[in-house]
Chain A
Amino acid sequence: MSKAFLPLLLVVGAAMIILLQFGFIFLLLALLPSVVAFYIDRDVGKPAFKTVLSCNLAATLPSLVPMLDAGIRMRHYDTSAVLSNPSTWLIVYSGAAAGWCLIYLCRYIARFTVMLFYEYNIAMLEGQQKRLIEEWGQQIKHPPGMSQN
């Protein structure tokens, strides 16, 4: 992570601690798969982390939003009920798992698309090469200095 984001993360983290109080612990636990993805992902721009985080956050949002709402309205929210509910964790971690699935699934879809695109380009270029050979002969394959007249 870029060092520029660290102060932002700290500010957001501080804001979240104030708003969520115990709910912040829930957030930390819920985003554990994303933290793992952050450290696993070695690719430039961390695309796997971003995908897992998005899915992880999407699954966390239904439980997190009431906490945030209560925090904003300065009301108490019983976080333990959420924390102790297994379905909450199932949804949250399923979201993260869906992120990982998406990554692998899309790779296959992309491979198919790329292959299709490449084959089309190759066919085009080979057509052009054929026309060049027809016009200039086999000598086009050799450097001009070595062309067989």
Chain B
Amino acid sequence: MAQGTASGSEGMGAFSDAVADSGDEFKNEALKLNDFLRRYHPSAADAKLDLLQDRYRIELSTPLPEFDGKTSRAFAATDLAEPTRMMFAQICHPGSVQRHRTIGILTTITHQYILPLAAAGTVQLSRPEEERFVIFYERPQGKKLSELLAQNQYPLTQSFVCDRIIAPLAAAIHQFSELDITHGSINPDNIYFSDVAVLGPCVAEPCGYSQPFYCEPLERMLALPGAKGEGSPAHDYYALAIVVLYILHGAKHFTSMTADSLARSIFREGVYNALTGQKEMPEMFYDFFRGMLSQNDKDRWSYRFIKPWLEGKRYNVLSPPPPVEAIRPFEFGGALANTRRELAYLFCTDWDKMADPVRSGKLGQWIAVSLRNKDLVEKVTRISRSIVELGFKNEVQLNEQLMHVILLLDPNGPIRMKNLSLYIDGIDSLCAELYANKAHQELHLLAKFIEFNMGNYWLELQRKAIQNYTVPTTINTILMKLERLRTTMRYGGLGFGLERMLYELNPEMPCLSPLLRQWHILTLPQLLIRLDRLAPNLSKDDEPLDRHMAAFLASRLGIMHEIRLHDLASSPSLANNRAIIALHLLSLAQQKSGDMQLPGLTHWLVLRILPALDAIHSRSLKRKLKGMLMEQAKAGYTQLLADLVVTSNYASADQTSFHQAWSLYLTNESKIGGYRKGSRIDQESIRFGFIIGKAIAYGAFLLCLFNAFRMM
């Protein structure tokens, strides 16, 4: 409960802007509100700086750049319960995505070949004064495998590689697999070696985000770094094989490779041939690499095969032949493709020109003649017809159709559309990454992808390709999120739009409002308390709500339809007023958050709402409302303010009364004009004069008649 004291006098600040905004009519009230806010010092909870769970302390004076990640900085850390335990802390950048499910699981396990994850959570830092998400790891002993290999300290015998590298790492991956999680960051720079190899940290960023391209299987290599999804243990085993290859052939083996050259050689020669490069290696590893570097995840060796192999069993695995699928290659952009998959890759290198062969029917013809796949020809021809019908008008639909072509050619690859290349379960982290990079064009494309339910086609293909296909939990979760998000994507007002997409896809994402940049706000109470504390500083210039806060609140409150203040509908300037919408959302949040008093926030809201009351025509109603708002602000309950401003039907009553008053005013004006008209006065005087004259004349006549008859 945030309670404040109104004492002291420092930090007056120029509230004149807010006062001026409020207009003369509200000057006194604005001054009173500002005076309260100036003296308001909410009692802050005793935040323990650089400390998590009263146990793990970050030593900000000792940076450890060797543990830095792409989205985190590392510092030395101390376990206050065990001061001898060497630790490091990864401080995550604001707006970055962490793997919370994996964190939750890893904090509960201890495995000798997995770097122990001690704790993770939000920490108030002392320098800079910010709240950040921090992950505490035990510091690994020994050196990075890459450094060790560079120094040539150890004799790299077969038994050394098998017993001290492959065996512990395979056991670690097996443990991950048993826990239904993946590591996603197995590479020589993230394996630590003292006596045996130990897997390094992996949760500070999306799965595979920093993974070198050659450590990823082809299909993940083609996806954007932030959009690879959670992957599977098969991908970790693939990375393990690359690590062994790195040990056997050294770093030089990979330095000449680029992602494009590696992809093209995999398409031409197959994974095994492309990566081993036909280089000499101990004979015992042939089986290992042929088993591990398989094209298909399902054929890849798992712990079930590696363990017996480590124990001496030999399988005599055959070398896979180079993948040739088509009778004749397809030429696109000056390159030749022999397989559907390769063609999909070539198409994606030049998206804008890809439509031409599809539209002209050249692709369908190639599939019919060179692949002889009737089913595929039918599907591609149907898409070609759609593209021809579309013409060049609808870019979104054209992109969708081209995305379908790519998926038909490479159903196991990522979903590719223009600059996007993603896996369904990587949409959340991709959205966060695009947001962090301010890639608005891609974000809009992603929004269209969700709005038009384009992921459904991918799901259909998976269902057709695999009998009794069961949707994995991670994908099912994201599909449900997308379904829910689709209804909200239609709206663009406060609480919706791209910001809403960000928070809906990433429930663990803190509020990224520029006003709250310094804090890691995850819940409604945290947001309310923070706004209450910020009220004295921010009330002079800022509204208590921006698009980020609105989207964050709407997401946490589960608001599915555009925010319309129906009780204020008769007065659009009130119904669309940002401060009143803010009040509505914040009152719902406070209602949901339970008992808390927020006098700073209520005064801030009233300060911003007062100028909006100018839209009310009736001065007495305005005075009454103003008085009640000033009174209710003291209580610190936004619901009370909302009851007054948002939900009572004063606006329509004011509007109706104003119409009546206006009509009366007009009638009166015309009456006054009429009374002042000279001709009317003349006419009326003549008419009335005749009446008087007639009355006197009739009277005189009757009198004379009476006298005459009396005399008769």
Which residues of A are interface residues toward B (Cβ below 8 A)?
43, 47-48, 50-55, 57-59, 61-62, 64-65, 69, 99, 102-103, 105-111, 113-115, 118-119, 121-122, 125-126, 128-129, 132, 134-137, 139-141, 143-144, 147, 149
Choose the segment among B54-62, B91-99, B261-269, B690-698 that binds chain A (4+ C-beta atoms closer than 8 Å).
B690-698
Q: In the assembled complex, which residues on chain A have CB atoms less than 8 Å from the CB atom of B614?
A: 149
With contacts A69-B712, A111-B681, A114-B685 taken as known, whether A144 is within 8 angstroms of B694 at the C-beta atoms is: no
B491: interface (CB < 8 Å): no
Complex alpha-carbon distance, A63 and B223, angstroms: 128
Cβ–Cβ < 8 Å partners of A115 in chain B: 681
Flag whether B668 is at the interface (Cβ < 8 A): yes
In the complex, whether B14 has a CB less than 8 A from a CB of chain A is no
A-contacting 9-mer, from B182-190, B633-641, B659-667 = B659-667
Within 8 A of A (CB), among B654-712: 655, 658-659, 661-662, 664-665, 668-669, 671-672, 675-676, 681-682, 684-694, 696-698, 700-701, 703-705, 707-709, 711-712
Q: Are A125 and B671 in contact (CB under 8 A)?
A: yes
A107, B689: Cα distance in complex, Å? 4
User: Is the CB of B618 closer than 8 A to any CB of chain A?
Assistant: yes
Which residues of chain A are within 8 angstroms of B661 by Cβ–Cβ distance? 132, 135-136, 140
A136 → B minimal CB distance (Å): 5
A128 touches B668 (CB 8 A): yes
Q: Sample 19 A-B pairs with CB under 8 A, ordered by A number.
A: A43-B686, A50-B694, A51-B697, A59-B704, A61-B708, A64-B708, A69-B712, A103-B689, A108-B689, A109-B692, A110-B685, A110-B687, A118-B675, A122-B672, A125-B671, A125-B672, A135-B620, A136-B661, A149-B614
Q: Which 8 A-B pairs have the closest CB atoms?
A: A107-B689, A54-B697, A47-B690, A110-B688, A111-B685, A110-B689, A65-B708, A106-B692
Distance between B670 CB and nearest chain A CB, rounded to angstroms: 10
Majority SS of interface residues in chain B? helix
Contacts of A64 in B (CB 8 A): 708
B682 CB → nearest A CB, Å: 8
Q: Confirm or deny: B109 has a beta carbon within 8 angstroms of a beta carbon on chain A.
A: no
Report chain B residues within 8 Å CB of A108: 685, 689
How far is A43 from B687 in the complex, measured between Cα atoms in Å? Answer: 10
- Does B703 lie within 8 Å of A58, measured CB to CB? yes
Binding site secondary structure of chain A = helix
Residue pair A114, B618 in contact (C-beta under 8 Å): no
Do the beta carbons of B665 and A140 come within 8 Å of each other?
A: yes
Cβ contact of B686, chosen from A110, A126, A143, cutoff 8 A: A110
Inter-chain contact B686/A107, CB cutoff 8 Å: yes
| Known A69-B712, A129-B668: A113·B688 in contact at CB below 8 Å | yes
Which B residue sits closest to A128, measured CB to CB?
A: B668
Assembly CA distance A136 to B189 (angstroms): 74
Determine whether the beta carbon of B618 is less than 8 Å from that of A135: yes
B617 on the interface (CB 8 Å rule)? yes
Known: A47-B693, A55-B697, A58-B703. A147 touches B675 (CB 8 A): no
Contact between A106 and B675 (Cβ–Cβ < 8 Å)?
A: no
A114 to B684, CA, bound (A): 7
**B701 — which chain A residues lie within 8 A by C-beta?**
54-55, 57-58, 61
Assess the B697–A50 pair: CB atoms within 8 A: yes
Query: Do B658 and A144 touch across chains, with their CB atoms under 8 A apart?
Result: yes
- How many angstroms between the C-alpha atoms of A18 and B665 in the bound complex? 66
B12 / chain A contacts, CB cutoff of 8 Å: none
B573: Cβ under 8 A from any A Cβ: yes
Interfacial chain B residues near A99, Cβ < 8 Å: 693, 697
**Looking at A48, A114, A128, which has the most chain B CB atoms within 10 Å of its CB?**
A114
**Contacting pair A143 B662 (CB below 8 A):** yes
In the complex, what residues of B have CB within 8 A of residue A51's CB? 690, 693-694, 696-697
On chain B, the residues within 8 Å of A102 by CB distance are 693, 696-697
Q: A62-B708, A102-B697 are in contact. List 14 more A-B contacts (CB 8 A).
A: A51-B696, A51-B697, A54-B697, A59-B704, A61-B707, A106-B692, A107-B685, A118-B676, A119-B675, A122-B676, A128-B664, A132-B665, A136-B658, A140-B658
